[in-house]
A and B are shown apart, each in its own frame.
Chain A
Amino acid sequence: EALLVESGGGLVKPGGSLRLSCAASGFTFSAYNMNWVRQAPGKGLEWVASINRRSEKMDYAGSVKGRFTVSRDNVGHSLSLHMTSLSAEDTALYYCARDRGDDYNPHLDVWGQGTLVTVSS
């Protein structure tokens, strides 16, 4: 069974940094593009970042571009999100999700349970 487990969330002050991790198991991690999706308290889903199988291409939502960096370790079967210059607007539950489908119609077929990031002084 494919499984994703996020970690690294917590309380951070405005302007601070945090690194999230996602451990993958039960599938060939290197064969899939991966994503981070977040959900602010009581709000909808917001895609944050994607990384392709070989770390050749990374894409970011406009709201995080220049502040967040997505990376992966195919040997260690893990995905990371390095977040800097955090503000209250970044407070959310951050999900790791596996990409499925072709390059023109991708969708997310496996999700972790999320890790909570709270930005507050």
Chain B
Amino acid sequence: SKVLTQPPSVSVAPGKTARIPCEGDRIGNKRVHWYQQRPGQAPLLVINYDKDRPSGISERFSGSHSGNTATLIISRVEAGDEADYYCQVWDGVDDQYVFGTGTQVTVL
């Protein structure tokens, strides 16, 4: 899978749920990881292996994966969740990381 497509932007009201899809050919058999990048900061791993949360990540972050679409879910959205979010898989054919196109989340 060389291209992971995400919507450029998602807007959500505080307290609501944001869903960020990540689509790609043949990602059905891959595990998808997600990163949050706040303005001016380095990326931060928020979900690994489709749905697992690394230590220290809020339980408001969750993930799902069905077929060729993975989804990052942010529940009870807060102002601090405003950031760019990227999905990522490993391309084992060419031995390279593949990042999604990125989604900017705006909290209304």
Q: With A and B bound together, what is the CA distance between A108 and B41 in angstroms?
A: 15
Report chain B residues within 8 Å CB of A101: 33, 48-49
Q: What 0/1 readout, one digit per residue, does chain A (76-115) give for beta carbons within 8 Å of chain B? A: 0000000000000000000101001100111111011110
A-B CB pair tally, cutoff 8 Å: 65
* 8 Å CB contact of B31 from A46, A47, A105, A108: A105
Given contacts A105-B90, A107-B88, A109-B54, contact A44 B45 (CB under 8 A): no
Quote the shortest CB–CB distance from B39 to chain A (angstroms).
Answer: 11
Q: With A and B bound together, what is the CA distance between A61 and B44 in angstroms?
A: 22
Q: What 0/1 readout, one digit per residue, does chain B (12-32) give for beta carbons within 8 Å of chain A? A: 000000000000000000110
Report chain A residues within 8 Å CB of B88: 45, 107-108
Q: Name the residue on B nearest A45 (C-beta).
A: B99
Interface size on B, residues (CB 8 A): 26
B60-108 residues at the A interface, CB under 8 angstroms = 84, 86, 88, 90, 92, 95-102
Q: With A and B bound together, what is the CA distance between A43 and B41 in angstroms?
A: 14
Asked if residues B42 and A47 are in contact (CB atoms below 8 Å), the reply is no
Report chain B residues within 8 Å CB of A114: 42
Given contacts A47-B97, A47-B99, A107-B48, contact A112 B42 (CB under 8 A): yes
Nearest 3 pairs between A and B by C-beta?
A: A47-B97, A107-B33, A105-B31
A interface residue numbers (CB < 8 A to B): 35, 37, 44-47, 50, 59, 61, 95, 97, 100-101, 104-109, 111-114
